[in-house]
Amino acid sequence: MSGRDEVPEEPGSDLGKGMAADNHPSDFGETNGASDRAGSFSNRLQNAIKDHVAGRVAGLHGVQVNRRAPEISSVYFTELLAALLEPDPRYMRLMIERLENDNAPLLAICDTLVMPISAALGKMWEEDSQSFVNISVATARLQTLVNKLSYARQNFVSTEQRHRIFLARMKGDSHTLGLSMLAACFRERGWDVDGGPDEEISDRVVARILKGNYEMFGLSINIDSQLGEVEPIIRKVVEMRNRSTARLKIAVGGPIVAERMDQFLEMGADLVTNNARDAVFGAQELIA
């Protein structure tokens, strides 16, 4: 074995062949002289972003957002999903290195990779096609990817120019990955982000938000959350905001919000969305 880390090839394994699919050259292995690579990592990701548009189901109160929402190409989706499930961690390290070195924005990575793959892992768990251990390891690796990219992509702007947002979640841990990704996307856009996936909503958190001179408060709503649990929180923030000089805008997000958009808006939310792209751009338009 040479001095450098080599990825062992397993007979019959797509991973051993660089985790390529559909006869595309691999980004993990050599192309045996074929014009460097048939499409660089960056070009492939950019093409995936340009090729597809998914319908938006977000709603805004007083703000119109009509964003292109890219879907992931089957080839690149397969490569990252395979790396997450592969026992040898070197595949995942290679994938993280490539994403760290690429210039694709986090919003694109979120739309085309992180959230679709998170959903795919959940489906594997429901269908019992992967073990609990495999899904747990893959989810932890995906969280590590988000954390590393979040640190690498922070947009360091002066304090005077930085907008401030506080993120919190309802009870339950099924939406911590999505909230981590959302926090990373806001940081990349130059926002000062407090709270996050570890911050469960409480009276203490609400008081902190109102005293913290934040421009946005984002509440992540779990699929198991009940409207009766969410409504008092939103109305309390609205009431306290109206009694103060705070410029705070309220955003709610999560998998259930699209079906109950009008109800959340009636509670006092300024922005209702179930994806990071509309959350970031909608927040920027609200405070403009």
Domain with CATH 3.40.50.280 in the chain: 159-286
Domain with CATH 1.10.1240.10 in the chain: 15-152
* Residues contacting residue 283 through CB under 8 Å, at least 6 positions apart: 163, 165, 186, 216, 218, 249, 251, 271
Whole-angstrom distance, CA of residue 254 vs CA of residue 270: 15
Give the tens place of pLDDT for each residue, 192-241: 999 998 899 999 999 999 888 899 999 999 877 888 889 999 999 999 88
Class in CATH terms, 159-286: alpha beta
Give the tens place of pLDDT for each residue, 247-276: 899 999 987 888 888 999 999 999 999 888
Whole-angstrom distance, CA of residue 217 vs CA of residue 258: 19
Give the tens place of pLDDT for each residue, 170-181: 987 665 788 888
Does domain 15-152 fall into CATH 1.10.10.10?
Answer: no
Residue 260, judged by CB atoms within 10 A of its CB (0-12, 13-18, 19+), counts as middle
Distance of CA 64 to the CA centre of its chain: 22
Q: Tokens for 236?
A: 């309390």
Say yes or no to pLDDT of 70 above 60. no
pLDDT value, residue 265: 93
Give the tens place of pLDDT for each residue, 24-57: 333 333 333 333 433 444 444 444 433 322 222 2
* DSSP codes joined into one string, the chain: --SS--PPP-TT-TGGGTS--TTPPPSSS--TTSSS-SS-HHHHHHHHHHH--PPP--EESS-------PPPPHHHHHHHHHHHH-SSTHHHHHHHHHHHH----HHHHIIIIIHHHHHHHHHHHHHTSS-HHHHHHHHHHHHHHHHHHHHHT-----GGG--EEEEEE-SSSTTHHHHHHHHHHHHHTT-EEEEEEEEE--HHHHHHHHHTT-SEEEEE--TT--HHHHHHHHHHHHHHHHTS----EEEEESTTGGGGHHHHHHHT-SEEESSHHHHHHHHHHH--
Give the tens place of pLDDT for each residue, 99-157: 888 777 888 888 888 888 988 888 898 888 999 899 989 999 998 888 888 777 666 54
